Structure 1
Amino acid sequence: MAGTLTFRYVTYLATTPEKVWHALTDPELSGAYWGHGNVSDWRPGSRWEHRRTDGSGIADVEGVVLESAPPTRLVTTWAEPGAPTGRGEPGVSTVTFGIEPYEEIVRLTLTHEDLADEAEREAAAGGWFAVLANLKTLLETGRPLPKEPWTMP
């Protein structure tokens, strides 16, 4: 059934929940490991944009902040630029970041749901694997991977 597929991924990081939250919500820092800056005031109901870091100001993804509970939970919609961005709208998926501290590490659970079909789920999975690997590397070493992982064939 369309719009019901989910991709979920869990990774563990040697960092703090506050640093993970900052890396997800700060435009400059998210741009360093993602190639796009995440731009919003991060209040529920606010718009957010996934803007290119090339200076063009182009947003390749847009959405609405559904939940914002720093530093443990962020939920947004995920949509094409110019399309409707509300939850439940056609073509709109939902992304949840769950950030759980455990002693000196963090469990980051990414859930991307309401995907239209298996091809969209596979594309999302490939992108998220690369982005989260780069996020983990940046937070644990102070620098992103030397080559953007999403450019690998």
Structure 2
Amino acid sequence: MDEVFRALADPTRRALLDALFTEDGQTLTALEGRVQMTRFGVMKHLRVLEEAGVVTTRKQGREKLHFLNPVPVRLVHDRWVSKYAEPWAATLSGLKSYLEDEDMSTVKTVSWEQGTAPVAAGTAVFEVYIKTTPERLWEAITDPQQRAIYSFGVGVQSDWTTGSDYVAGVPGTVDISKGTNVEVDPPRLLVQTFEALWSDEVRAQGTTRVTWQIVPVGTSCRLTVIHDGLPDQANPELYGGWPMILSGLKTLLETGESLDTPGSLMY
């Protein structure tokens, strides 16, 4: 958390995050045009943001794309805001306003989904470090009982073999999603098609793809969730719940407890 606070303390770094909030998946050249600074200076600031985890990168051909990763901000919120601030304990104001440290009394409070950055490139990337083993993390992702704890009651049923189907939902209450397990390589990689079911609006968005990548880092794991194949001007509900889910997953594996954030904000 110290690294996150340090990253957000600099106005140039906040401006870079604002730029990614407006349009995710930008190259270094594109971001250089957003601030009055040399290319080397922008690279130094991006390095700080990457080290704090609030920016993550992906290679696309010869280009390196930068993505806003809201998970660390969500964790800061859960640790330092939610237990002190009511009644918006489980909400965030628009991320741009939050990072610029504007006077909260003048900012309209919106839900996390409403404050999620637009996905112009058709891809949303979320990353979190969890102190656990790859096997334990894989189990938490695929076990329906554990999944329901950090997904606010939403369990996932599947035999977790390549080509098999899966369904997710709250039994007897609501269907959340369904799809196919395109690639299953435990405890390293899970690639799934994703068809949202919880409302007519998200059903109309069509089928997208979710990739879970687990990489051991010392005694921890880096979990990256890539939600791609998103349509132009995708409904933020499709991908807006990931920061909350990953925060809950990290909390469960590291503390054995669940977050108090109500699941009604996710859908």
TM range (shorter): 0.7 to 0.9
Q: Are positions 1:73 and 2:189 aligned together?
A: yes
Residue ranges of structure 2 left out of the alignment (5+ in a row): 1-119, 198-204
CA RMSD of aligned residues (A): 2.1
Aligned match for 1:123, one of 205, 213, 237: 237
1: CA distance, partners of 2:137 / 2:262: 19
1:151 — aligned with what? 265
2:160 — aligned with what? 42
Larger RCO (CA under 8 A, 6+ residues apart) = 1
Q: Are positions 1:64 and 2:180 aligned together?
A: yes
SS of the equivalent of 1:115 reads coil
Higher strand share: 1
Larger Rg: 2
Q: Are positions 1:141 and 2:251 aligned together?
A: no
Cα deviations by residue, 1:22-64 (Å, 9 ceiling, x for unpaired): 1110010100110211110010111101121xx4174320000
Contact 1:36–1:51 (CA<8 Å) still a contact in 2? yes
Residue type at the aligned position of 2:237: A
Shift in Å, 1:151: 2.6
2: CA distance, partners of 1:50 / 1:137: 21
TM-score when normalising by structure 2: 0.49
1: CA distance, partners of 2:165 / 2:173: 15
Shift in Å, 1:129: 0.7
Residue ranges of structure 1 left out of the alignment (5+ in a row): 82-89
Cα deviations by residue, 1:66-122 (Å, 9 ceiling, x for unpaired): 0001101001000034xxxxxxxx8110000000011101000100000113342x3
Residue type at the aligned position of 1:22: E
Contact 2:189–2:214 (CA<8 Å) still a contact in 1? yes
TM-score when normalising by structure 1: 0.82
Call closer, same or farther: CA 1:129–1:26 in 2, change over 3 Å: same
